[in-house]
Structure 1
Amino acid sequence: VEHPGRVGLAFEPTPDRAVTEVRGALWLDESTSELQTLEVTYTELPGKVVDERAGATVEFMKIPSGAWIVQRWQARTPLIHLRVRGNPVEGARRQEAVVSGFQDIGGEILEITASNGSKIYPATLAHLTGSVFDSTKAQPLVGAHVVIAGTDFWTSTDRNGEFHLAVPLEGEYTVSFAHPWLDSIGVDSPEITARLARERTDTVVVTIPHAMTVAAQLCGTAPSRQDLRVVVGRVAGSDHEAVSGALVTASWQEIVPDDERFTVRDMQQVGETDDSGFYVLCGLPVGRPLSIAADHRRRKSRTANVIFPRIAEGDLLHAWDRHPDQAYSSSFPAPPPIWMVDLDMGIDDKSATSTVSQAVLSGLVADRASGQGLEGVAVSLNGSESVVSRKDGTFDLVAAPWVRGTNTVSLRRNGYRDWVQELWIDESEAAVTISVLLEPTEVIALEPIEVSATALQYLDEVGFSERRERGLGRFMDRAGIESRLGAARDIGHLLTAIPGVIIVTDGRDGMSGTLLRVTGMPSGPGVGCAAPKLFVDDRHIPFDTFGSLAQVVQPEDVLGIEIYRSPSEMPAKYGGAESGCGVVLIWTNQRNRRPF
């Protein structure tokens, strides 16, 4: 290799040396005779392999004291293996050595500091910044492990899901992300490519797919948000090793109408663990007590008794296990529809038996006069915390304390007489089903009371309604969104229903090539706008493709949309240098699950 402006002192092994050696040159500055670099390549590699890509480079640096030190060095050694060529039938076979890869090692001085604390030399570094957004939880992913593959450089995301790495690297590298939450639900950690250069910053954005997308991947079909829950988990043995091939069964009962009466039907869902002990159960109901257990070669796990509550959509859900020997955290946070239950083989459930145990009390409560199921009836056993009957009059009281013998059941609802009865429960009975008809109380007519109230709506709080009244920008409220939900496959297609928003396809395959644009903005090769500035629930989201946005926001979650094309239209707080291509504001019902 020639280096203009330098003088090289070459060296090589003596001709009679038949072992692996190096040859190369020591390069000096032609005008000052100062050391510059040392470059070497290998000779006499095994099998007479010749590959100029293997070798080493050493760079020297002079410090103010006059001493010379190694500033940076890098060595690449080949990995060689023997490959057999020829026809084994004819016996004409020969071996040849080939290079199957390389091993790179090296080092660099990042900083030199004098004894008085002053910096003598700072290295120039490449910077990698970015953020990780977890769409399964609709929030930034905190504590994600960010690693530059093939190196020892890593960091973790902060409370905003953001990270920064300053590294002495140049070139194209794979950046991987890992997080215990992703591993627990069986989501492969994403990998992206970063192009690093010294004194430059490369910024990347990683999005973990939406919970509905993950559930579809786990179950092979698009789930229904209203009535589906997915349970994932791992089965481990008494030695904490993963159990492969275990059958995991979820069992529950459903009360179904049969002519003029209700019958109880036993239901089951079965899954099998993979080599890592991971299992998936799909299509589990809400509002019903479920028993989940694993079976492997006549060995059984402890039984996890769980119930998925019927609560308002958008709230952060928690699965709980009423088993006395809790084997997993009862406060494990998971958004609908994904939950986690780990199972351990070999736990003896008989140890949980005691005089005072816990029961599941299920049943149906109806109006005696009409026979219709009653909603809102408070049901309790032995004065325990009550549950409320559902719209169809059914109820499930889980983890209620009971004793062998006489127990007291009470049902109460405004407008009906209290129902209090003694109930005999045998020790062998862990689940009890009852049917009750409540007697309406006498109705007393009262003077009408006029009540007026104004609900403080979320869209009013964020200024949506006020800005719409001003007539600047384009708006779509919840009513307009609901009228288009059937035709909107994703958030991108919902946005295009608003005048002034268009889809532009740049010819690439898939949704990643479908871009969001606001009309009236200049465009064309080398000029114009890349994408409008996007805010979701008042947080700036740096996504410009439908493919990325669709993983963060689902159409059914959207409460309102605002589109602004020019700075004269848009509110001052959303303006700035990046708003020249327009601003899109999206307000969702997921705001309470976001930490911002």
Structure 2
Amino acid sequence: MAVPRSTHPTASRTARRPLVALAASLLALAPSLALGQAKPRPGTLGGTARPTGPVARPATPARTAPPPLPADSARPLPVGGIVMDSVAGAPLAGATVQLAAEADRTITHTAVSDSTGRWRIPAVKPGRYLAGFFHPTLDALGIEPPVHLVQIMPDTAARLDLGTPGPLAVRAKVCPQAPSDRAVLLGSVGDADDGDPIPEAKIVITWSEMRISEEGVRNVKRRLPVRVRPDGGYLVCDLPADVDLVANAEAPKRRGGLIELHLPPRSLTRRDFALGDSTSVITVVLPDTAAAREGRLQQPITVARGNAGLTGTVRTRDGRPLQGARVQLWGSDVMGTTTEAGNFALSGLPAGTYALEVRAIGYAPKRVPVTLAARRTGSVGVVLDERLNTLQSVVVQADRTKLQKDFTGFSERAKRGMGGRFLTEEDLAKRSPIVMTDALRTTPGISVVPNGTGFGYAIQGRGGCAPDVWVDGMRVFDGATDLDQLVRPTDVAGVEIYNGAAAVPAQFMGAGGGGGCGVVAIWTKRGR
């Protein structure tokens, strides 16, 4: 998966030690480290950018280093370059770049990289300098800032590209004992608005795995909490690879959302989290209007809102804007639709890291992590690049008289309550679902989760087990996983949901189903 780069606006506060002091200790211990090599390598001096002009070259390793150039040998000239996050493979914004003269380390020059990772110092005298940078990324990786000894030549503008060590080098340093078939995850947790570390936070990672025992094969849900260090960083060295993971950050009196991760074997992935405070995230309890109308016990729906905003564009793989795509923030009831130009704008969102879900007919749904802040409007670009194959039409024939009788039973059970929840055609229309799992997403007792195929969703009952699914009075095996392929929301006249076996009507207890994990019964318009 593509690894997002850090967006915390705290780079200027991370210069824990002056560069000159750090460089002095490195030079005293290992002069060859400071001298570097003439040809930059990806992930160290030179990053991954290709120089376009004369480069501020590291001094040539030799037994006797050339003497420094006289300070007045040439006029000052500009020096600039790009700072790269070699773990994320992206430019590093907000990095504090420093140059310190080797002969007199009280002579320093400082610049901060912009959103594209570029930095520039307008006037630097030719000579030999110690060069390095500071950034929260280095703190999260648990490594010291790389320092290089470079020589700036007279009468030529110089380019100096810097970067963090590459993923393999960082993995070997921070998790030397990690099994080769496992994945490493690291990052930081900070405040959504000012980026300050949240040391009392923790990261929670969950996934499902098959467990074989004397009782047989079971699908077990694993939950791994990881405490965050005082500097806000965290590190997990032993995660399953090629498995759908769900991760989120937690802290007292703060809120954030769930995001999905899929980590390749031997990988090192950086994922930062932000949490909103109690004033930037508002918990809203939505009324259970269907239950109120039917005179049943209401089960309120809790969602998060706030003062954050998000704008963005949805495009296809070939760059065409996608009109009519639906966008929604997981954990909130705020949603929108893209315009003819593929643009959307959402407001009233909670602050923190959440997953933005984008859906469009004919495309696999896509979920991308976004970090939202109450004091600024975020932006994101989403590309829907996976087309879905159109399924062949399926014709189902049944006795219309029997379907009419069964649908009448649905109406009678809905009027009496019967221990379940009931969604009418009007209820479904208000939720504007694209697929059936959309209609059940905010239903208490039902969770909508990735189905493990890379796209699409499954439904789970309480405890994480799959409820029995019935369509027009017939049980559908694996219906909880294939629900979106079974029926379209526009063809549904009613849905009844039972969260436990005690409330399930007798007619839904047969055909191999016991209803122990609940029942979702769907009635199509054919039976009316």
**Shorter-chain TM-score range:** 0.3 to 0.5
Q: Which has the higher strand share?
A: 1
Q: Which has the higher helix share?
A: 2
Higher relative contact order (CA 8 A, sep 6+): 2
State the TM-score, normalized to the length of structure 1. Answer: 0.33
State the TM-score, normalized to the length of structure 2. Answer: 0.36
Structure with higher Rg: it is: 1
